[in-house]
C-alpha cells in the first residue's frame, strides 16, 4: 500500500476534552444542586455566590475556602459529596450530549487519534456522563480531580493527560468551555477551542486566544482540529 506523503508528515496529536459544560449542558444542574444544598444546610448559596465562588472550581478547594469558616472542617468536608448526590439524582434522567459529540469521537477513533478526558469533577460524575452517553470507549485516558493534586486553572491535569497519552502538550487540542479550562490550557501551552452551547457567556470573553469558537460539535471535524495546531494552516 502506498502511503500518503502529506499524512506521513503529520506528527502524532491528540484531543483532550473537558466534561461539564463541554460534553453536556449541565451547568444549571450543578448550580441548582449547590443552591438546594444551601437550602438544606442553611448556607448562603445563591446565584451570585455560585458564580463568584463555586462555578468551574475544584469542590475540595471550594468547601475548604468558603464553608469551613461557616460550619467547621468536619461538616464542610461532607458538603461536596452531598451536593454531588443531589446533582446526580437530578441530572441523570435528562442527560444528553452537546450535538455532534458522539459523531466527532467516532470519527477521531476511526483515524486512530487518541482522546482523553480531563475534568475538575469527581469520578462518579465523570463516569455517569461517559456511561450514560455511551462514549467511555473512545477515551484512552480519563482523569478527574481525584487523580491530581491541583485542579484547573492549574495546568496539572492537562499536562498529566498529555503525558499519559505520550503526546507533547503542544500537540494536544484541548476542548473547553470555562475560564478555569481556558487558563489551564494557556498555562499548559496547549492550543484550545471553546464550545459555547453549555457555557456561561461572560466566561467566553476570556477565551481570547482560543484557536476557534464553536457553538457545538456539529461544525467540528478531525481536519479542523488538526488545523488548529500551530504548524498547520487553518482549514
| Last residue of one domain, picked from the residues 71, 93, 115 | 93
In a domain, 21, yes or no: yes
In the prediction, which pLDDT does 4 show?
Answer: 45
Range of the domain at 63: 28-93
| Last residue of one domain, picked from the residues 61, 76, 93 | 93
Number of domains in the chain: 2
Give the integer Cα–Cα distance in Å for 225 and 220: 7
Rounded to the nearest 5 degrees, what angle is found at the Cα of 221, between the Cα atoms of 220 and 227? 100
Q: Are residues 83 and 121 in the same domain?
A: no
Give the sign of the dihedral formed by CA 27, CA 91, CA 81, CA 157.
Answer: negative
The pTM of the whole model exceeds 0.75: yes
Q: Which set of grid coordinates corresponds to residue 190?
A: 496547549
pLDDT digits (tens, 9 = 90+) for 64-107: 889 988 888 888 889 999 999 999 999 999 999 999 999 999 99
Q: How many CA atoms lie within 13 A of 171 on its CB side?
A: 13
pLDDT digits (tens, 9 = 90+) for 40-52: 999 999 999 998 8
| Last residue of one domain, picked from the residues 61, 93, 125 | 93
In a domain, 233, yes or no: no
Decide: 179 and 159 in contact? Cβ < 8 Å: no
Low-confidence residues of the chain: pLDDT under 70: 1-9, 230-235
In the prediction, which pLDDT does 2 show?
Answer: 41
Q: Are residues 102 and 191 in the same domain?
A: yes
Tell me the Cα Rg of the chain.
Answer: 18
Q: Are residues 112 and 188 in the same domain?
A: yes
In a domain, 234, yes or no: no
Amino acid at each position: 500500500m502506498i502511503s500518503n506523503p502529506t499524512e506521513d508528515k503529520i506528527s502524532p496529536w491528540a484531543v483532550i476534552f473537558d466534561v461539564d459544560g463541554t460534553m453536556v449542558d449541565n451547568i444549571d444542574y450543578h448550580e441548582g444542586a449547590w443552591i438546594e444544598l444551601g437550602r438544606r444546610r442553611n448556607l448562603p448559596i445563591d446565584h451570585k455566590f455560585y458564580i463568584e465562588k463555586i462555578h468551574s472550581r475544584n469542590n475540595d478547594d471550594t468547601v475548604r475556602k468558603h464553608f469551613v469558616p461557616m460550619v467547621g472542617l468536619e461538616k464542610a468536608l461532607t458538603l461536596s459529596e452531598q451536593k454531588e448526590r443531589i446533582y446526580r439524582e437530578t441530572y441523570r434522567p435528562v442527560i444528553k450530549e452537546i450535538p455532534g459529540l458522539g459523531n466527532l469521537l467516532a470519527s477521531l477513533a476511526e483515524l486512530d487519534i487518541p482522546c482523553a478526558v480531563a475534568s475538575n469533577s469527581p469520578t462518579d460524575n465523570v463516569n455517569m456522563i461517559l456511561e450514560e452517553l455511551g462514549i467511555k470507549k473512545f477515551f484512552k485516558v480519563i482523569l478527574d480531580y481525584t487523580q491530581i493534586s491541583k485542579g484547573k486553572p492549574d495546568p496539572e491535569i492537562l499536562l498529566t493527560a498529555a503525558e499519559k497519552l505520550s503526546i507533547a502538550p503542544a500537540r494536544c487540542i484541548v476542548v473547553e468551555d470555562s475560564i478555569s479550562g481556558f487558563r489551564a490550557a494557556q498555562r499548559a501551552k496547549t492550543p484550545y477551542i471553546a464550545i459555547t452551547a453549555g457555557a456561561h457567556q461572560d466566561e467566553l470573553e476570556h477565551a481570547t486566544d482560543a484557536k476557534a469558537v464553536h457553538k457545538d460539535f456539529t461544525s467540528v471535524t478531525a481536519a479542523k482540529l488538526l488545523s488548529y495546531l500551530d504548524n498547520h494552516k487553518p482549514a
